[in-house]
Amino acid sequence: MPYIRETILTTVDAAGAVHIAPLGIIAEGEFWIIAPFRPSKTLDNLVATGMAIANLTDDPLIFAGCLTGRKDWPLLPVEGCPVPRLEAALAHDVLTVEDVAEDATRPRFRCRVSASATHAPFTGLNRARAAILEAAILVSRLHMLPAEKIEAEIAYLNIAIEKTAGDRERQAWYWLMERIIAHLATLEA
């Protein structure tokens, strides 16, 4: 399997309206592949403009927020690029689509990095943040998973939350748990 970086992608539509979504971008030599499942606003915007910004952030609230309907995160303009970046990005890459491998389920947009910048220092790994990333991915796949699998994953990830979370991580975990509990309730009903 290739290396994948978990990013928050910012894109814009033809009218300039911004869309924010977490997506894993896939390494392919000097290129990065963006592979959105249909239907996807990110996909529509990539087709419309051929550009995205990969925001590299370790902010757990943004990953958890995007998966729970909280997409209004502060943005900043990027010189020479119509797509803004997240204020919270530690660094960003401007991605320009080179070509597209069409697919009925999951097309692959091969992108080159046309500019990059660093904004803030990375302050180190944290187990709770890693657990929130996993839980956010779990939330994006709830419709495909049985209740036992969801409960087992949450029980495991909760260990890192209990041991290493600060306030932002606890808030992010709470948002994700609200969504998961509501989903599990629909399975029991």
Ligand X SMILES: Cc1cc2nc3c(=O)[nH]c(=O)nc-3n(C[C@H](O)[C@H](O)[C@H](O)COP(=O)(O)O)c2cc1C
The two tokens of residue 104 are 């009925």
CB 44, CB 36: distance < 8 Å: no
Kindly write out the interface string for residues 148-177 of this chain, putting x where it contacts ligand X by CB under 6 A and - elsewhere. ------------------------------
Under rule CB under 6 A, residue 63 binds ligand X? yes
How far from chain centre, in Å, is Cα 88? Answer: 13
Which parts of 131-150 interact with ligand X (CB under 6 A)? 133, 136-137, 140
Buried b (16+ CB within 10 A) or exposed e, 108-129: bbbbeeeeeeebeeeeeebebb
Which parts of 69-128 interact with ligand X (CB under 6 A)? none
Residue 29 or 39 with smaller CB distance to ligand X: 39
Which parts of 4-43 interact with ligand X (CB under 6 A)? 6, 21-24, 35-37, 40-42
Residue type, position 134, single letter: E
Q: Rounded to the nearest 5°, which phi and psi values hold at 182?
A: -60, -40
Helix (H) or strand (E) holding 43: helix 41-49
Q: How far is the CB of 134 from ligand X (least distance, A)?
A: 9
Q: How far is the CB of 51 from ligand X (least distance, A)?
A: 15
Interface residues with ligand X (CB under 6 A) are 6, 21-24, 35-37, 40-42, 63, 67, 133, 136-137, 140
